Structure formats: C-alpha cells, structure tokens
Amino acid sequence: MRRLQLETRTELMAPASKVFDFVSDHTNAPRWQSGIDEVRRITPGPIGVGTEHELTRRFAGMKVTARNRFIAYDPGRFVAFEIPSGRMTGVASYLVEPTGPDTCRLVSTVDFQVTGLARYAVPLLTVIFKRDDKKALATLKILMEHS
C-alpha cells in the first residue's frame, strides 16, 4: 500500500456560499471535473453526513465505478467524503473560506491509499491527479465567476 496525498488552493471571485453549494453537490462534478462521466446520489434527502454517491470516471485509461460517502458536513464551509472500497480508498474534502463579500478560497485535499499493482504507479498517478485537478479548477473558476 502507498499513499497519494494532494492539497490545492484556488482563489475565486464568487461568493463562498455559491462555490460551496456547487462543489458539495457531487452531481455537479461532471460539469467541472474532466474524466467524471456520471454521478448519481444514492441516498434520499438533503445533503449531509451519510450522503452517498456512485460515480463513473475515466482515470489513467481505465473506467472506474466507485462510491463515496460524506463523513463530515458543515453547511456553507466544509465537506469531507470517503471512498471506502476499491484500488484507491481514502478521504477527500473541500473547504471553502470567504476572503471577502464576493470572493473565496477553495482548499481541496486528497489522501488516498493505493493497493495492488496500482501502488507502483503512485508517482504517475500523482502527476495525473495534479494535471486533472488544475484543469478542473480552471473550469470551476469559469463556471463560478462567469455565471
């Protein structure tokens, strides 16, 4: 087993509440994260701790279906979710911090454990994650600042 850990920060010219509402609703992920084909909420009710999603994504040439579950939720500010099974398991989160009345900072973290043969590719997977994250944040910036 090897760990893949990343943290990215981006400044957005959009209200924190708008950014949080968008990124914490994982059904929006295909709109801003390349490689994610579909996200479906599989639990009823409002978003919060216990909310689960099933997602299909393309990553490093593979099509992967996974589930995630919200393990922390502070409305308007913070959401953390776990991916409990698969070749990559672990926790990711979004923290949205207001920096002004209509500006904010998004802090995105990933802390995954990689098992099986994929563990040997963690350096390459890290490069791919960073590249994909950079594109996703650029798309998010456009969606949040120009809508």
Are the beta carbons of 37 and 58 closer than 8 angstroms?
Answer: yes
Give the residue ranges of the chain where pLDDT is below 70. Answer: 59-60
Task: Identify the H or E element spanning 43.
Answer: none
Q: Could you tell me the residue range of the domain that residue 46 belongs to?
A: 2-145
Residue appearing with tokens 């593979």: 62
Q: Are 36 and 56 in contact (CB under 8 A)?
A: yes
Report pLDDT for 63.
82
Q: What total number of domains does the chain contain? A: 1
- Per-residue pLDDT, 147: 77
Instruction: Quote the CA–CA distance of 57 and 87 in Å, as a whole number.
Output: 14
pLDDT confidence of residue 1 = 78
CATH number of domain containing 116: 3.30.530.20
pTM: 0.91
- Residue 34: C-alpha distances to residues 8, 16, 100, 115, 137 (Å): 16, 23, 29, 24, 10
